Amino acid sequence: MTQLFLNIDPSLVDWSRAQFALTAMFHWIFVPITLGILFIIAIMETIYVKTGDEEWKRITKFWMKLFGINFAVGVATGLILEFEFGTNWSNYSWFVGDIFGAPLAIEGIMAFFMETIFIAVMFFGWNKVSKKFHLTATWLTALGANLSALWILVANAWMQYPAGMEFNPDTARNEMVNFWQVLFSPVAINKFLHTVTSGYTLASLFVIGVSSYFILRKRELLLAKRSIVIASVFGIISISALIFTGHGSAVEVSKHQPMKLAAMEGLYQGGENAEFIGIGILNPKKTFDNNEDPFLFKIGFKGVLSYLINFDTKTFIPGINDLVYGNPERGVPSFEERKMKGTLAMNSLIKYKEAKEIGNMEEANLQLEILKANFNHIGYSYVEKPEDIIPHVPMIFYSFHIMVFLGFLFVLIFLVYGWLTLKNKIDKIKWGKPLYILGIISIPLAFIATEAGWIVAEVGRQPWIIQDLMTVGAGVTKISSTAVQTTFWIFSFIFTALLITEVSIMIKFIKQGPSNSAIK
């Protein structure tokens, strides 16, 4: 571990980050639809089994076909993403020990056993098994997909908030000591619920968008109306949970990743009665070490940020400057303090190993105590400058606010579509064309919102690959930068081709409609 940063090519770190970001963002194009539309399909099939109405069976098969196209492409990108932990991030994989590997192993079992078994029945079991058995398989496929997501998100949450582990100085690895702390950490719970409900929201908008196309073309009106009712109800429930878990996630960020929260709000100087920015344009000249105004323009709400974090406007929210320079009165350590403690931890690890090698156990135990006392800052030993702990503020700020703005737009879409459909006016209103076009446009807007959320989550915690314990540069595999660049462009071509192929097939089957695309 002590040699991780020696002679590391900065371009290698940048290209490794770019390749992983590319793979993750392409993968997340396919995952949200999978997570959400499976439950919508299961609900539709449940209605079919309860009512015996063959039209519901036809509707279920149509959406199931679109799910199948999306699922096949998503699996391919997901496998590549997991392999990259070993190829591009081997130092990270070693350092996290069994903590990261255990959730991924469980996810593999969930995905390739539970999902694979029941998805086969779901697709090919029509008229071969009983209605109730087929319905059970559909629900279990939906449950299996979401359980797979759980383990991936638990692993990601651990990177944001390391819990349930101890560092083994003899192997330089973190070892799991409490599985339940890893699984049920508040960060993991909020991350899982917030992420899957974003998928449910996106899938609901996908169903509304496709249904809007049919209404616009005056085709398959019964399918469109029924689908919109299910998607609107499912969507409003999902986005309500999304807003609630988003608040919970922000509270956890304030506790464990205050720099991310400060970047989300462009907050340089912290304090009580902290302002929530509704709309703002950042000043590109602003840095942590000058006196420029952070905003060229803003509409803010005084005290709202403090209140949202702790239901008290007097809650102190540290800003970027507080986290760099420290705020002793508020108990906020400075960068220099944390770097000093991190360096002390790293030096004590080196001295512990040296003392143990020569059999000086008294000295080894002394250094081990120093290491334990300062281990939570060990990552700072590799950070050179204060500005290195500040993420890209404009990217985080704008991504966060785009996500929030689109979220409230989606609430409005669900309410309007749901109300008009229940009143049987969805295909009769005079000003319907702009509404249907908005419904179709909401599909790419939903993807923008969910990708923006991941930018906030992942770019917002830079430079850390594990919060406060390991920087991204420490986790990278020491391989040729040229090799990573080559695979980056290969993956770019492959993923783009896969995306174009999927969209083309989707559009083809949507245009054909359910009568030609139903599963036999």
The predicted-structure confidence for 327-336, as pLDDT tens digits, reads as follows: 999 999 999 9
pLDDT of residue 200: 96
The predicted-structure confidence for 128-157, as pLDDT tens digits, reads as follows: 899 999 999 999 999 988 888 888 888 889
In this predicted structure, the answer to whether residue 62 has a pLDDT above a threshold of 50 is yes
CA dist 302 and 275 (Å) reads: 4
pLDDT of residue 3: 45
The arithmetic mean of pLDDT across residues 148-168, rounded, is 89
Neighbouring residues of 457: CB distance < 8 A, sequence distance ≥ 6: 160, 191
Neighbouring residues of 214: CB distance < 8 A, sequence distance ≥ 6: 220, 221, 223, 224, 513
In this predicted structure, the answer to whether residue 507 has a pLDDT above a threshold of 80 is yes
pLDDT of residue 452: 95
pLDDT of residue 57: 93
The arithmetic mean of pLDDT across residues 303-326, rounded, is 93
Per the model's pLDDT, the better-predicted residue between 477 and 259 turns out to be 259
Helix axes 221-256, 258-265, angle to 10 degrees: 120
The predicted-structure confidence for 228-256, as pLDDT tens digits, reads as follows: 999 999 999 999 999 999 999 999 999 99
The predicted-structure confidence for 90-127, as pLDDT tens digits, reads as follows: 888 888 877 877 777 777 676 667 777 888 888 888 88
The predicted-structure confidence for 347-398, as pLDDT tens digits, reads as follows: 999 999 999 989 899 999 999 999 999 999 999 999 989 999 999 999 999 9
The predicted-structure confidence for 400-447, as pLDDT tens digits, reads as follows: 999 999 999 999 999 999 888 888 887 777 777 888 999 999 999 999
In this predicted structure, the answer to whether residue 320 has a pLDDT above a threshold of 60 is yes
Q: What is the DSSP string of 16-80?
A: HHHHHHHHHHHHHHHHHHHHHHHHHHHHHHHHHHHH--HHHHHHHHHHHHHHHHHHHHHHHHHHH
Neighbouring residues of 224: CB distance < 8 A, sequence distance ≥ 6: 211, 212, 214, 215, 426, 427
Q: What is the mean pLDDT of the chain?
A: 89
Calculate what percentage of the chain has a pLDDT beyond 90.
60
Model confidence band, residue 520 (pLDDT cutoffs 50, 70, 90): very low
pLDDT of residue 315: 92
Model confidence band, residue 70 (pLDDT cutoffs 50, 70, 90): confident
In this predicted structure, the answer to whether residue 2 has a pLDDT above a threshold of 60 is no
